[in-house]
């Protein structure tokens, strides 16, 4: 999911005309979306680590 948002942000910036007065809106939305995706990804990875550390270890 994180890569999808990064790809979308890259596409949005590349296909828009950055010399228009409203270009900052495109860049801002792309950055916010990417940062949100990275934050979500980090949260999911953190939850995965916690759930693995709480699971009982198999005894030999």
Task: Determine contact, residues 58/22, Cβ cutoff 8 Å.
Answer: no
Given phi > 0 = left and psi -120 to 50 = alpha, else beta, which region is 21?
alpha
Q: Domain spans of the chain?
A: 2-54
Q: To 5 degrees, how large is the angle CA 8–CA 11–CA 13? A: 110
| pLDDT > 80? residue 29 | yes
| pLDDT > 80? residue 60 | no
Separation between Cα atoms, residue 2 and residue 43, nearest integer Å:
12
> Is the pTM above the cut of 0.75?
no
What pLDDT score does 13 carry?
A: 83
What pLDDT score does 52 carry?
A: 64
More confident residue, 1 or 47: 47
Mean pLDDT score of the chain: 80
**pLDDT category of residue 5 using cuts at 50, 70 and 90:** confident
């Amino acid at each position: 999911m994180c890569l999808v948002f990064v790809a979308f942000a890259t596409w949005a910036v590349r296909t828009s005309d950055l010399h228009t007065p409203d270009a900052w809106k495109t860049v801002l939305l792309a950055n916010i979306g990417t940062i949100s995706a990275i934050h979500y990804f980090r949260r999911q990875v953190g939850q995965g680590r916690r759930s693995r550390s709480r699971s009982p270890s198999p005894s030999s």
